[in-house]
Structure 1
């Protein structure tokens, strides 16, 4: 296993892809195996954030019947 120094990272401040530990950890997203994957980090982050928000909304509304993503919920 590598320590990440040979991986690619997305710099959250500059929007650039970096190889290895060029920037401070709070400014990096990753690691990614390729520069192309690292360049898609904002899309990945948005997708995961939406999934987490949707999951929290389902959990918060559990038992209220206000959110129905489950096709069997009306049975």
Structure 2
């Protein structure tokens, strides 16, 4: 069994969290070590994007 088979992934197209690569890479985020990390993937991405946007705005000033 490959290590990625035990990891968790978030599917952008369905919003489902799966263990293992159940979907294609086009809509799959991960791997994550825990189900909880995968479940909160979008929150983490949004927070990082907000920080990056703030950094970009500060650099423009």
Question: Shorter-normalised TM-score: what interval?
Answer: 0.7 to 0.9
Structure 1, gaps ≥5 residues long: 62-75
Q: Secondary structure at the match of 1:44?
A: helix
Two-structure CA RMSD over aligned residues (Å)? 1.4
> Which position in structure 2 is the counterpart of 1:40?
40
TM-score scaled by structure 1? Answer: 0.71
TM-score scaled by structure 2? Answer: 0.85
Relative contact order higher in (CA < 8 Å, ≥ 6 apart)? 2
User: 4+ residue stretches of structure 1 with deviation over 3 A?
Assistant: none
Query: Between Structure 1 and Structure 2, whose CA radius of gyration is higher?
Result: 1
Cα separation, 2, equivalents of 1:22 and 1:47: 26
